[in-house]
Structures are given as C-alpha cells and as structure tokens.
Structure 1
Amino acid sequence: MVDFIKINWKYLLGAALLHLLFAGLFALTMVQMSRDAPPPQLAIQAVVVDASQIGAASRRQERERERERQRVQQEREKAAIEQKQLEEQRETARLESERQAEQERQAESQRRQEEEQKRATEQQMMIERQDAERKRQAEVEQQKKAEAERQKKAEAERQRVAEIERKQKEEAQRRKAAEDARVQNAREEELRRQLAEEEGLRQAESAGLNNQYAALIQEQIERNWNRPPSARAGLECEIRVAQSPNGVVLSAQVGRCNGDAAVKQSIEAAVMRASPLPLPPDRRLFQRNLILMFKPSD
C-alpha cells in the first residue's frame, strides 16, 4: 500500500483537491440561494403578490435545482472518468512494476548464468594451460634430446665431409694437373693446326683458288639475274651475302652501287634465286659472310 501511494501520490492529491473544490462550490451555491430568498412581508401584502412572486420563485428555484442536478451529474461523470483513469493508471503502474520485476529477475538469472559460464570457462582455460605447459615441457625435453642427437650426428657428418673434401681436393689437384697438361697439349695442337690452315690458305690463295671461287658465285648470280631496263653499262654493285655451311643464302643486301633502286632489288633477288651458292674448290676458303662485287657483262 505504501509503495502504491508513493507511485500514485500525484493522482491521489489531485482527487482530494477536486473533492474539496466540489464541496466549496456546493456551499457557495447554498449561501447564494439563501440570499436570493424573498424578505418576509406582512400578511395582507402576501395575499396580493404571493401568486406572481411564488411562481417566479418556483421557476427560478426549479432552474437552479436543474442546473445543480446537471452540475452534480457532470461532476459525478467527471469523477467517474477520473476514477477510471486512476484505476487504469494503477493497473498500468502495476503492470510496469511487474514487468520491471520480471526484467530484473531475468537479468539476475542471466547474470548468474554468465557467472557460472565464466567460472566454467576459466576452469577449462586453467586445465588447458596446465595441459599446454606439460606438453611444452615434454616438447622442450624432446627438443633437447633431439638437439644433442643432431649435434652428435652433425659432428660425425662434419668429420666425414672433411675427409671427403680432403680426398676431393687431392683428386681435384691431380685432375687439374692432368687437365692443365691436356689443355697445354690441345693449345699446342690447335696452334699447329691453325698454322697449317693458314699455310694451306696462303697456298690456295696463291694458286688463284679464291678468285676462282668468286668467279663461280658471280657466274651463278648473273645467270639468275633478270636485267631491268634501267641497268646501264659499267654496272658495279657491292653485295653482302650471308650463307650457311652448305651454301644456302640466308640474306643478301646491296650496298654501294651505281644502279637505281630497281637494279638493287633485281640483284638481291638474283642472289636469293642463286641459292645454294657453289662451294669453294678448297674448303678452307669458305666464309659465312661474303662481300662480292657484282659486275655483269655488258
């Protein structure tokens, strides 16, 4: 009851003040009606005016009573509405109080569950940490044993590798001495071969074989040349030719030439058609890159 008064004291105070106001209004109405009553008159005068005055007074009193009944009815209706609102407010306050109590109960239950879950989690974490620590210590011991074994094997391997390296070094020195001797012999042999080739090349050039080789190429190119109308007498064109070891022409380009563009193009085409070029009488005269002077007969 005390909690209800604390929660709804404003509404209770308003209802009390409203009842006091109604009581005051009723008292003022009664005082006003007593003032409006006609003053006492002589009996003879009453006989003359009583009829009209009594009728007017009766109608006035009737109107006052009707207004009073309406006012009282309005006040009752208003009081009933206020009472209903007050009861609704009480019911709302009760439901709100019950809702808050339920929320507090649920919050307390949730808090307890969370605390229990927290304790269970902490206990599980402690067990896991202890297991992890035991596992770590076991791993440390295992690592120490493995490291000792590894160092033992590493030392044995180091000694084995050192012995192998010593033997390899001795073998490498022996092989190097043999290779140096072989290289020296090869160099001497290559030098003798080069000297012999140079001597043979000089002999071949002295015999005119180089000119014979150039003439063979000139003749084959000229046979494959389609002389353009713009070619004039005294034509001289330098040709750079790249060929494979079997004489296949890889490229042909006319350099210095006293002919026009059509002449140069016709000469390059003739060189390509002349492929493969004839090989030299002496193989030592062969060159991959040739510079030829094309001088067709007029």
Structure 2
Amino acid sequence: EEAKPKPDTVPPPEPPKQDLIEQQRVAALAEQKADQLKKEQEEKRRREQILLEQEKQEAERQKQLEDVRKQLALAEKKKNLEKERLKQLQDRRLAEQENAEKERMQELLDEEARQAQTGAGGQDNDLTARYAAAIQAAVTQNWNRPESVPPGLRCTLRIVQIPGGDVISANVTSPCNADPAARVSIEQAVMRAAPLPYRGYEKVFSREITFNFKYDGQG
C-alpha cells in the first residue's frame, strides 16, 4: 500500500526579535527628538525675528524722537532770535519816538518863548491868542487833574468841533509829556468844557484846531 503524502503545514510566525523592537523604539525616539528640536529652532527663530523687529521699531522711534527734538530746538532758536529782533526793533522805534517827542516839545517851548518875546502880530493874531487863552481857561476849569501830574505839563490837543463850540472829538497827540491817565483826563476835560468859547471868536473859528494845553502849577 502506497504511503499517503502529508499535508503542507505553515510554520507559526516567529516572535519579533528583541533587537528589532529596540531599533524601532530608538528610531521613534530619534524622530520625536528631531521634531522637538525643529520646533525649538523654529520658535527660537520666531523669537529672534520678533526681537529684531522690536529693536528696529525702537530704533525708528528713537530716530523720530530725535528728529522732533531737533525740530523743537530749531524752532525755539528761531523764536528766540525773532523775539530778540523784535525787541531791538521796538527799542529802536521807542528811542526814535522819544527823540522825536523831545524835539517836538522843544519846538513847542521855543514857539511859546518866541510868542512871549514878540507878542501878538496884528489884530487876527491877537484874537487867535485870546481864543486860545479862552479855550485853555475853559478846559482847565473842567479838568480833574490827577495828583501825579507835575507842573510843566505840555500836551498837544487835536479838537474837532462845530460852529457854536460843541465838541465832536478831542485827542491828545504828540508832543505830550503826560502819562496815559493824565492824557485821558485832559481829553475828558475838553468834552466837559463843551461848548467851547465861540461868540466873539467867529472870525478865527475852525472846525479842527490844534491846541497846546499846558499846566504850570496854577489852577
């Protein structure tokens, strides 16, 4: 009798070898470490980029601040130079005005002296002199003289009036050696004195007159 062939049998798989498992574990750990290192390097680059950007922004901010400081310093310098220039100009103009005021005052005093020496020349001049004296008296009577006004006051008045002596305006002009308060008091005196002397002076009446008001300690 022939022997029957034995059926083929698949041998059971061999269990994984220990060294293969260890290799896989080591490979997995290596990959994990590589990923972690990559992430850390990326994070480091990101932080460095942020830091560089912040430093760049700070440098730009400092530059802008420095530009602003320079502009402010330049503006302040220009302002001070302009103030000094204006002060010098103002001082020069004030000195010129004071000199002109002194010259006009001296001319006024010289004219008074000449009139006192020569007297009135002609009937009209005599009437004009009496007209001026009448206005002086009327204004002085209505003048509330400030206590600070010393004798020797001389002020030129420009008066606008209408026939009859009613005053439209009265303004102290140069030359005048009175302070502002005294000037105002003289202008007010003219307005209170209105109507100014008129009857008898029609011949020398003028709508606009320049009158030299003076105070020498009387009245």
The interval holding the TM-score normalised by the smaller chain is: 0.3 to 0.5
Name the structure where helix makes up a greater proportion of residues.
1
Q: Give the TM-score, by structure 2 length.
A: 0.41
Structure possessing the higher radius of gyration over alpha carbons: 1
Relative contact order, CA 8 A, sep 6+: which one is greater?
2
TM-score under structure 1 normalisation? 0.31
